[in-house]
Structure 1
Amino acid sequence: MAIFDDEPVKKPKPHEIGQDLSLLSQDELAARIELLRAEITRLEAELHAKGATMSAAEALFRRG
């Protein structure tokens, strides 16, 4: 509990790379795997979008 009401409450991170996994249950491990898979999908989508933007920019500047 925070001493003052205006202090930010620290939320635990859902997953931290390299953290000790030995105390997690199978359900907790499965949940983290799903969380990380969703994050990988999100990162790949952003990477694809940035690649498409870069390709469009390169095509625009090659015309002239």
Structure 2
Amino acid sequence: MMEEDAPRRAAGLTPPVLDGWDVEELKNYIERLRAEIGRAEAAIAKKQAHRGAADAFFRTRPE
């Protein structure tokens, strides 16, 4: 599958209405968000590492 054919997630996320949540629910929500941020950061690091490896492999050597 080509990268441009891959399904894309919507750019904007609709945040939930927090008015009815108690403190414990809000803390749990924050932990889930932090976990998701960590997952996204890990995906970024992986893509950057792959890109760096490809750049190093295809870099032309000075003559």
TM over 0.5: yes
Segments of 5+ residues of structure 1 without an aligned counterpart are 1-15
Identity of aligned residues (%): 41
- Is 1:28 aligned to 2:28, yes or no? no
Deviations 1:4-40 (A, max 9, x none): xxxxxxxxxxxx6322100001000000000000111
Number of the residue aligned with 2:55: 58
Runs of 4+ aligned structure 1 residues displaced above 4 Å come to: none
- TM-score normalised by length of structure 2: 0.69
Larger radius of gyration, structure 1 or 2? 1
- TM-score normalised by length of structure 1: 0.68
Number of the residue aligned with 2:41: 44
Residues matched between the structures, number: 49
Q: 3-state DSSP class of the match of 2:25?
A: helix
Segments of 5+ residues of structure 2 without an aligned counterpart are 1-12
**Larger relative CO (CA 8 A, sep 6+): 1 or 2?**
1
